[in-house]
């Protein structure tokens, strides 16, 4: 088994899809740029030509609308947004058109129903780039019917979920995190898919369940290592998909451990963590021995100062601290057992 970086795995998925299916093309801004895409699209324009790797002006709305039209015409476009923040300019073709189209026409065939479109958006947190370049906006799109949302945390899933998104008959929002680009892991050379909507248990444990999304799934693994040295067994679930997300796997784990921490790199209010915590409360209330805790960004725009960024972005230490609070009843983690 080879090891690749997260960015290399994304690049390999693009190359294999372009080679295997003549309908596939990539369109967006900065496709050749290591600043915009890292190594995730490196050299694809030279390998496959500018007719299939189409670098565009800064025109998020127009380019995404073109991709929706191409999908309706039977092609398999991947539209690339190097900053998820500015993908907001393309909300109409994504939300009003792509997500709804199959419902409007009853899903009757590619020419009038299916929209086989991958919208790839990069989260670009930190780096002193400030509030307009550092937003993790995935929770917005969890709210939209007709749109699937995936967020891989490992190189293998980065490849497998991208290929699964391309195979899907409907629009899929594929979100990758620039902080993960250098992460290394085993990736098979052959094309393969990871089932959209299936989470994975990254690590077993019986004391508490840590549920992570994208970068925060990796931080949950680091937090579990910290907790293990303290004699605490944390089970780590990497959601991988946010729409749909694997409610059954999460509920089974939390029912067994009785405690949960949800770690999300987005904001707290009405965020992904809120939906997950609410679902846990509904499904697992009788099994919970403590309230669910969430580790998220504060409800404030991202700073553009390195010292403030270090305080703004949570990670493994904050997840481990939340787990300790749940286990001991500290802060708002008071348990039923302690009360008894």
pLDDT tens over the chain, length 340 residues: 799 999 999 999 999 999 999 999 999 999 988 888 889 999 999 999 999 999 999 999 999 999 999 999 999 999 999 999 999 999 999 999 999 998 887 766 545 568 999 999 999 887 788 888 889 999 999 999 999 999 999 999 999 999 999 999 999 999 999 999 999 999 999 999 999 999 999 999 999 999 999 999 999 999 999 999 999 999 999 999 999 999 999 999 999 999 999 999 999 999 999 999 999 999 999 999 999 999 999 999 999 988 898 899 999 999 999 999 999 986 544 444 334 3
- Secondary structure (DSSP) of 228-292: HTTT--EEEEE--EEES--HHHHHHHHHHHS-EEEEEEEESTTSHHHHHHHHHHHHHGGG-SS--
Q: How many residues does the chain have?
A: 340
Query: Does residue 60 carry a catalytic annotation?
Result: yes
pTM: predicted TM-score of the whole model, two decimal places:
0.94
Beta-sheet strands, E only, within the chain: 2-5, 24-28, 53-55, 76-81, 118-123, 148-150, 172-177, 184-187, 200-203, 208-212, 234-238, 241-243, 260-267, 293-297
Q: Which of 12, 60, 235, 309 is the catalytic position? A: 60
Pairing of strands 148-150, 172-177: parallel
Burial of 278 (0-12, 13-18, 19+ CB in 10 A): exposed
SS3 151: coil
Q: Which of 14, 81, 133, 138 is the catalytic position? A: 133
Counting Cα atoms < 13 Å in the Cβ hemisphere of 105 gives 16
Query: Does residue 133 carry a catalytic annotation?
Result: yes
pLDDT for 312: 92
φ, ψ dihedrals at 159, nearest 5°: -75, -50
Q: Which domains does the chain have, with CATH numbers?
A: 2-187 (3.40.50.970), 200-339 (3.40.50.920)
């Amino acid at each position: 088994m080879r090891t690749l970086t997260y960015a290399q795995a994304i690049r390999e998925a693009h190359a294999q899809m372009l080679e295997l299916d003549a309908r596939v093309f990539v369109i967006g801004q900065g496709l050749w740029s290591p600043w915009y895409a890292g190594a995730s699209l490196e050299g694809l324009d030279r390998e496959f030509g500018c007719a299939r790797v189409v670098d565009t002006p800064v025109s998020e709305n127009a380019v995404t609308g073109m991709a929706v039209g191409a999908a309706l015409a039977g092609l398999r476009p991947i539209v690339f947004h190097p900053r998820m923040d500015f993908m907001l300019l393309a909300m109409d073709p994504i939300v009003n058109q792509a997500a709804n189209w199959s419902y409007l026409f009853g899903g009757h065939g590619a020419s009038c129903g299916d929209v086989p479109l991958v919208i790839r958006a990069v989260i670009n947190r930190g780096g002193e780039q400030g509030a307009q370049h550092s937003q993790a906006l995935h929770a917005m799109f969890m709210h939209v019917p007709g749109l699937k949302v995936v967020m891989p945390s490992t190189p293998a899933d980065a490849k497998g979920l991208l290929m699964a998104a391309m195979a899907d008959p409907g629009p899929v929002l594929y979100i990758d995190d620039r902080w993960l680009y250098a992460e290394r892991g085993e990736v098979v050379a052959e094309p393969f898919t990871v089932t959209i909507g299936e989470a994975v248990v990254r690590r077993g444990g019986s004391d508490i369940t840590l549920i992570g999304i994208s970068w925060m799934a990796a931080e949950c693994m680091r937090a579990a290592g910290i907790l293990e040295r303290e004699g605490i067994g944390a089970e780590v679930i990497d959601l991988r998909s946010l729409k749909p997300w694997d409610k059954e796997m999460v509920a089974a784990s939390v029912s067994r451990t009785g405690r949960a921490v949800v770690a999300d790199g987005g904001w707290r209010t009405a965020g992904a963590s809120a939906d997950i915590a609410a679902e846990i409360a509904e499904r697992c209330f009788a099994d919970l021995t403590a309230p669910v805790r969430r580790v998220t960004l504060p409800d404030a725009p991202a700073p553009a100062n390195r010292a403030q960024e270090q305080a703004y972005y949570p990670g493994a230490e904050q997840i481990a601290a939340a787990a300790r609070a749940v286990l001991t009843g500290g802060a708002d983690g008071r348990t039923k057992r302690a009360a008894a």
